[in-house]
Structure 1
Amino acid sequence: MQRLDFAGPRDLRHMQELASRLWSPTSRFHPGQLAWSRYFRPVDPDRLGDAEAIARWEQDGQTVGFGWAESPDWLELQVDPAHPEAAVEVVEWFEEWSDAEEQTAMVVEGDAAVEAALEAAGFAPQPSSPFFTHHVLDLRDLTPLPETPGYAFRSVGADEWGPRAAVHAAAWSDDAPSAVDPSSYRQVMQAWPYQPELDWVAVDGSGQMVASALVWLDPGTGVGLVEPVGCVPAHRGRGLAGAVTLAALHALREKGGTLAQVTPRGDDDYPVPRRIYSRMGFEPTARVVMWSRSLA
């Protein structure tokens, strides 16, 4: 097995190919999630920041696992269950790279290879911490769009990265300023598997974007990931987040998608998105939980 450290966008594509090959309703990643996580903030596509590291592992020319240290205290990883030894190597790599005294990893419950590797390294699940829950929806069961007087829904134009970034930032800056800006959203729009026909916004009577929903279609599986969704504060409470998501999902079905996935918080401290998706018909499949360890 060979370790390959990040050297540019092609490595991200290898990671996305692994996520697509392994996808199931209970697997950790969808290719769109990896694209969003890489490009939602301004970055150099060819280089990582000093506080970030990515490596992937190949066996016979095929990627069988990767580790993404989004920061010294935060590890994301996925491995092919047929190669559990890759999980051990990912965790060892993270141990060598990180000097953080408190470290956390996100794991799908039941991912035996990853759980065993983390447990052996001293990580333990944190059942009282916030967690996420995968939900899926068969697109044959989509409901019609609701009535939303005063608003219309449309897909984003290929040159609208500026206003599209603005509506996202306005919706996601309640606690701290969003990292999304026009340059980063332009990178999102240039990333595989982004399609502008699946990036939807709600607009008010003046044409201003006030809510948004981005869906990533993996052509290899027919699964569309909803990531992210938001509504600006002044227009909340009118069902726009759910309606714009439904509009994007109808477009997904028209593009040949068969299943939709979303991963909202599953704990009771942040219940609203989960309730919105449940009303649409999304059903829970697997929990994504925190594992952590202290080296202090």
Structure 2
Amino acid sequence: MSSMRSPTAKNLGRSTRPSILLMDQGGRAPPPYLRDSEFTTIHEVRALGLEYLALATELLQRARLAEAETGLWEAADLQWWWRTPRRSDAIDQLFWIDDEGPVAGVVLTDWGRAWGCDPIVVPGVSTVPLPTVWARAVEAIDALRLEAVEVLARDDDVELLGLLAGAGFVADDDRSGITWMNAQDRPDVTALPEGFALVDRAQETTKPHPMRRRSGEGVEARLRQCSLYDPELDLAVEAADGQAAGYALFWFDPVTEVGMVEPMRVEDEYQRRGLARAMLSAGLDRLAKRGARRLKVGYGTDVARGLYADAGFRVTCTSRSYSWRRPVARD
């Protein structure tokens, strides 16, 4: 498993503004008659590449430790996004950091069809309020001259939904969701049908990675740059002829003790044979044995939601994507 140095304000990122922000727990600047010691010192820093990924990892771990099911993302989500090179790898990402680490950030991700924008704030801890983070996100979108931007927002995130509406973002029709389960409630491991075998990347390293067709030839090298990637949790089902019939990647975060599934796929010609259920149950069992106490997986289709519900996951929130396109300049 690869390693990534734990980031702090002292060893990662570059200061983005010469001033140091002093804020109280409501995100307010101190009145002149109060001592600086009564407020929290917040540094703004920018980071890119693996430095960005390390800061984003620590930020999301801190957010998860603050609240058990808040927000949309785990640190493992952003590490999964790292699997393929993107234009966003080369841009400076903005973070706010106190003496304990990141408290907020703006994550911009190039998805090809559009750029994703994720304003992230540690709940109950952050001295940087969401409107401040969102304002800086809008500044970054404008500075980069991005043509199309998408923001995924929970249906119960009233504050973010208001900010999106004020900025002209429009909701898409499709809904997705997040499901959780206690590890002790996981299903028993289901056997694969005859003629299929479960393998992982710790066992099988001579064959090309099964995700390469959708994520590129460098997918395994990129995954191995991630601190939470574990080749023994990188599973695939092989048919009798050695072809990959499906794959699933499981992520264990030892800081939060959350186990996550992302992605999960069975190739079209092998569907409806019980392969997804077998991979899912085997991976969840490995996560529990690693030390995961809680298990999480998101869904984007009714079929996926049904698979996870049958395994014992419960839906905890739904979400929608909100889109914005830069207006066409008129002469």
TM-score of the pair, normalised by structure 2: 0.74
Letter in 2 for 1:76: D
Structure 2 portions without partners, runs of 5+: 1-20, 22-42
Map of 1:235-246 to 2, 5 A cutoff? 235-246=270-281
SS at match of 1:225: strand
Structure 2 Cα separation of the partners of residues 78 and 111 of structure 1: 12
Aligned counterpart for 1:9 among listed residues 50, 63, 88: 50
Pick which of 244-253 and 85-94 moved more: 85-94
Aligned residues of 1:54 and 1:68 also touching (Cα < 8 A):
yes
- The DSSP-based 3-state class of the residue aligned with 1:154 is strand
User: Relative to 1, partners in 2 of residues 1:109 and 1:87: Cα closer, same or farther, differing over 3 Å?
Assistant: farther
| Structure 1 residue 288 corresponds to structure 2 residue 319 | yes
| 1:69 pairs with 2:108 | yes
Q: In angstroms, what is the RMSD of aligned CA positions? A: 2.6
CA gap 1:295/1:204 in 2 versus in 1, 3 angstroms: closer
Query: Contact conserved, 2:58 with 2:101, CA < 8 A, in 1?
Result: no
Q: 1:53 to 1:264 in 2, by over 3 A?
A: farther
CA distance in 2, matches of 1:91, 1:7: 16
- CA distance in structure 2 between the aligned counterparts of 1:256 and 1:8, rounded to whole angstroms: 29
Distance 2:132 2:158 in 1: 12
CA offsets 1:219-273 (integer angstroms, 9 cap, x no match) = 11111110011122222221112211211111111111111111111xxxx3211
Native 8 Å contact 1:91 1:121 kept in 2: no
Q: 2:190 aligns with which of 139, 146, 160?
A: 146
Q: Which moved more, 1:275-284 or 1:194-203?
A: 194-203
**Which AA in structure 1 matches 2:201?**
V
1:10 and 1:234 map into 2 onto residues whose CA distance is 40
* Structure 1 residues 133-186: Cα deviation after superposition (integer angstroms, max 9, x where no partner): 01012121122223422222233227728522xx2245xxxxxxx2332x2222
Match of 1:54 among 93, 96, 106: 93
Other-structure match for 2:295: 260
Q: For 2:86 and 2:115, how far apart are their aligned partners in 1?
A: 20
Structure 1: which 4+ aligned runs deviate by more than 6 Å?
none
Identify if the C-alpha distance between structure 1 residues 60 and 43 changes in structure 2 by more than 3 Å, giving closer, same or farther: same
Distance 1:232 1:161, change over 3 A: farther
1:30 and 2:30 are equivalent in the alignment:
no
1:168 aligned partner? 211
Instruction: Give secondary structure in 2 for the equivalent of 1:88.
Output: helix
Q: Give aligned pairs, total.
A: 275
Distance 1:4 1:61 in 2: 14
The 2-side partners of 1:15 and 1:42 are apart by 17
2: distance between equivalents of 1:6 and 1:113?
27
Where 1:224 maps in the other structure, the secondary structure is strand
CA contact (8 A) 1:153 1:200 kept: yes
Q: Summarize the Cα distance change of 1:112–1:13 in structure 2 as closer, same or farther, 3 Å threshold.
A: farther
- CA distance in structure 1 between the aligned counterparts of 2:153 and 2:185, rounded to whole angstroms: 29
Match for 2:107: what amino acid? W
Distance (whole Å) between structure 2 residues aligned to residue 79 and residue 161 of structure 1: 42
CA distance in 1, matches of 2:50, 2:286: 28
Distance in 1, Cα, partners of 2:288 & 2:211: 24
The match for 2:4 is none
Q: Which runs of 5+ in 1 are unaligned?
A: 171-177
The answer to whether residue 121 in structure 2 is matched with residue 79 in structure 1 is yes
CA gap 1:98/1:252 in 2 versus in 1, 3 angstroms: same
2:6 corresponds to which residue?
Answer: none
CA contact (8 A) 2:119 2:134 kept: no
CA distance in 1, matches of 2:159, 2:103: 12
Structure 2 SS opposite 1:130: strand
Q: Structure 2 CA distance, aligned partners of 1:161 and 1:27?
A: 38
TM value normalised by structure 1: 0.82
Structure-1 separation of matches of 2:187 and 2:100: 43
- In structure 2, do the counterparts of structure 1 residues 292 and 233 end up closer, same or farther at CA, with 3 Å as the change threshold? closer
In structure 2, how many angstroms separate the alpha carbons of the residues matched to 1:95 and 1:41?
22
> Counterparts of 1:173-212 in structure 2 under 5 Å?
178-181=214-217, 183-212=218-247
1:92 aligns with 2:134: no
